[in-house]
Amino acid sequence: MIDEPLINVDRLAVRRGGRLVLNGLSFALRPGGFLCVTGPNGAGKTTLLLALMRQVAIAEGRIRLAGRALSDYPQRDLAKLMGYIPQADGRPVSFSVEEFILLGRYPHWRRFSTVTAEDRRALRDAMALTGTEVFARRSVSTLSGGERQKVFIAAALAQESRILLLDEPTAFLDPRQQAEVSGLLRRLNRERGVTVMMVTHDINLGAFCADEILAIRDGASAYSGPASGFYKPDVLEDLYRIPFEVVGEGSGGPLRVFHR
Partner 1 sequence: MIVPPEARGRFLAALAILTVAAIAASMFLGLKSLDWAAVCQGTSGGVDAEIFWRVRLPRVCLGFLAGSALAASGMAFQAMFRNPLATPYTLGVSSGASLGAALYVKFGLALGLTGLPWLPLAAFLGAAGSISLVYGLTRASRGFSTATLLLAGVAISFFFTSFIVFIQYIGDLTTSFRVARWLMGGLETVGFGPVLQVLPFAFPGILAVLCLGHELDLLAIGEDIASARGVAVRTIKKIIFFVASLMVGGVVAACGPIGFVGLIVPHVGRLVIGPRHRELAPFTVLAGGAFLVLCDALGRSLIAPMEIPVGIITALLGGPFFLALLLRGRSERENI
DSSP symbols for the chain: -TTS-SEEEEEEEEEETTEEEEEEEEEEE-TT-EEEEE-STTSSHHHHHHHHTT-S---EEEEEETTEEGGG--HHHHHHHEEEE---------SBHHHHHHGGGGGG--TTPPPPHHHHHHHHHHHHHHT-GGGTTSBGGGS-HHHHHHHHHHHHHHTT-SEEEEESTTTT--HHHHHHHHHHHHHHHHHH--EEEEE-S-HHHHHHH-SEEEEEETTEEEEEEEHHHH-SHHHHHHHHSS-EEEE-TTSSS--EEEE-
Options 48, 79, 188, 239; binder of partner 1; rule CB under 8 A: 79
CB of 157 to partner 1, least distance (A): 13
Binding residue for partner 1, selected from 15, 16, 80, 187, defined by CB under 8 A? 80
Which one of 59, 93, 136, 171 is in contact with partner 1 (CB under 8 A)?
A: 93
- 111 in contact with partner 1 (CB under 8 A): yes
* Identified binder of partner 1 from the candidate list 40, 86, 145, 254, rule CB under 8 A: 86
Considering the rule CB under 8 A, would residue 17 count as an interface residue with partner 1?
no
- Tell whether residue 76 is a contact of partner 1 (CB under 8 A): yes
Least separation in angstroms between CB 101 and partner 1: 11
Residue 182 in the binding site for partner 1 (CB under 8 A) = no
Residues 127-166 close enough to bind partner 1 by CB under 8 A: 141, 156, 159, 165
By CB under 8 A, name the binding residues for partner 1: 53-55, 75-80, 82-84, 86, 91-95, 99-100, 103-104, 106-107, 109, 111-112, 141, 156, 159, 165
